Chain A
Amino acid sequence: MRFAKSVRLAAGIATWILTSTTLPAAQTNVAVAANFTEVAKEIAAAFKAKTGHEAVLSFGTSGQFYTQITQGAPFQVLLSADDARPKKLVEDGLAVPHSRFTYAIGKLVLWSKTPGLVKGEETLTAASFSKLSICNPVAAPYGAAAIETMKSLKVLEILQPKLVEGATITQAYQFVETGNAELGFVALSQLMGPETGSRWLVPQELYSPIRQDAVLLRSGASNEAATGFIAFLRGPEARAVIERYGYVLDGQS
């Protein structure tokens, strides 16, 4: 009797496992550059509503993710803030070669919470502030673009002692948000809420375009949710969201 009971129980468990794994929804882990945080959340929600698949998002710097992926991090998709690292991952054999494409071109903004403080490049040349926040220029492309902008304007040397670095663009934004830095270089997408303070959209000729590339990682090649997410990112719905957040789409600039 007891034996029959446990057989029935085992059969029940087996059925439960089988049915639960044959559910159509799959899951994928996506590494997202911090500047794309809000957009990625919105896209992931739309992706789930449409396909039932779930994209689990992690946010950080492109450099951090690159290092982690070379060490076997369990991501299937990378939305980088640059094109160099996805390219390197393809060369390293860690990403699927033809999956790489530019999903957005980022825009750099000089922003302050104080109305009237940021007027334009003269704000940088006058340098009448104590702290200017940027993100780590080695690990985060927006930090590199900020440095390039200051170099183009020949103010980097004067401003160097005033620079404070956030580990990610989100932190660079936070430093300004909490008032610890008077102004900072952030991504346009971070300023999409109600317009506050003062801002200057840095002209494109002052820094090389921030081409943000997405790539399907090797481990995601056979993951339905991962390939689906990459395809969705190329589609019209995602593109509309990306554009709404102030990014330029490839082939439009």
Chain B
Amino acid sequence: MGDLPPDLWQSVWLTIELAAITTVVLLVVGTPLAWWLARSKAWWTEAVATVIALPLVLPPTVLGFYLLVTLGPNGPGGLIASLWGGRTLAFTFEGLIVGSVLYSSPFVVQPIRNAFAAIGDRPLEVAATLRASPCRAFWTVAVPQARPGFLTGAVLGFAHTVGEFGLVLMIGGSIPGRTKVLSIAIFDYVEASRWREANILAGGMVIFAFVVILTMTLIEKRSAGGRP
């Protein structure tokens, strides 16, 4: 394995980095959002939930097309990039994070929302009668109870970002070390008829996917068994 091209490992690390950062961002942004979605009684709650769920249905090319236009110099992405002297967010690692956060959001928000909703009003009312502030009740009652939801969301968000392809192909530009993630590397190897490298990466992905799904199932089984 020592004679493998270094760009192969580079794309593996880049992918892990992208997926990890995306997951953290989604947990930070997604948790309050999921909480609001689970608790809000506003009539437009479901409209917001639907917007978040859109990437489940839309082909990645739709998001890729919009991002290519909005990340560019004529869109808001160009404006953000100009803060550090860049022209566009396309072809940058930051641009990929923006895309991945949008693309993987339903996989993180949905399980956390479901977990929050499953708690119901009762435990929080009890906490309130014990004079816990809403904030304290959130951290000491809701979050610990929703732990399986967080775990599922984090694993799914990470895995889905690793598995993303069409979006990155459209806005990435295949730059080694910055935007050339695993799925793109496999695509390039196959196009170049480099079966050996393609085989190693593709085989690795199969094992990865197997482990992820198995882990998910075990988490769900354990959390279901833990409940009376």
User: Contacting chain A: which of B47-55, B104-112, B169-177?
Assistant: B169-177
Q: State how many angstroms separate the Cβ of A123 from the closest Cβ of chain B.
A: 16
Do A165 and B72 form a contact, CB below 8 Å, given A67-B191, A182-B87?
no
State which of B73, B74, B192 has its C-beta within 8 Å of the C-beta of A139: B192
For B88, list chain A residues within 8 Å (CB).
131, 179-181
Are A131 and B169 CB-contacts (below 8 A) given A63-B193, A164-B174, A165-B175?
no
The one of A70, A164, A179, A182 that contacts B173, using a Cβ cutoff of 8 Å = A164
B188 within 8 Å of A (CB atoms)? yes
Asked whether, in the complex, the Cβ of A63 is within 8 Å of the Cβ of B72, the reply is no
Which B residue's beta carbon lies closest to that of A130? B87
Q: Nearest Cβ distance between residue A14 and chain B, in whole angstroms?
A: 41
Q: Are B192 and A180 in contact (CB under 8 A)?
A: no
**A167 interface residue, CB < 8 Å from B?**
yes
Closest to B173 in A: A164
Q: Mask for B171-192, Cβ within 8 A of A = 1, else 0?
A: 0011100000000000110111
A67 touches B193 (CB 8 A): yes
**Chain A residue at minimum C-beta to C-beta distance from B69:** A178
Chain A positions within 8 Å of B175 at CB level: 163-165
Residues of A bordering B, CB below 8 Å: 61, 63-64, 66-67, 70, 130-131, 133, 136, 138-139, 163-167, 171, 174-175, 178-182
User: In the assembly, what is the distance between CA of A136 and CA of B192, in Å?
Assistant: 10
Question: Which of A61, A63, A67, A131 is close to B87, meaning CB atoms less than 8 Å apart?
Answer: A131
Report the bound CA distance from A221 to B26 in whole Å: 55
Known: A165-B173, A167-B169. A180 touches B86 (CB 8 A): no
Contact yes or no, B191 A64, CB < 8 A: yes
Contact of A166 among B69, B173, B192 (CB under 8 A): B173
16 A-B interface contacts by CB (under 8 A): A63-B191, A64-B191, A67-B190, A67-B191, A130-B86, A138-B191, A165-B173, A167-B169, A167-B174, A171-B170, A178-B69, A179-B73, A179-B88, A180-B72, A180-B73, A181-B173
A178/B188 in contact, CB under 8 A: no
CB neighbours (8 Å) of A136 from chain B are: 174, 188, 191
Q: Does B115 contact A (CB under 8 A)?
A: no
Report A178 CB to chain B, min CB distance, Å: 5
Is there an interface contact between B90 and A180, defined as CB atoms closer than 8 Å?
A: yes
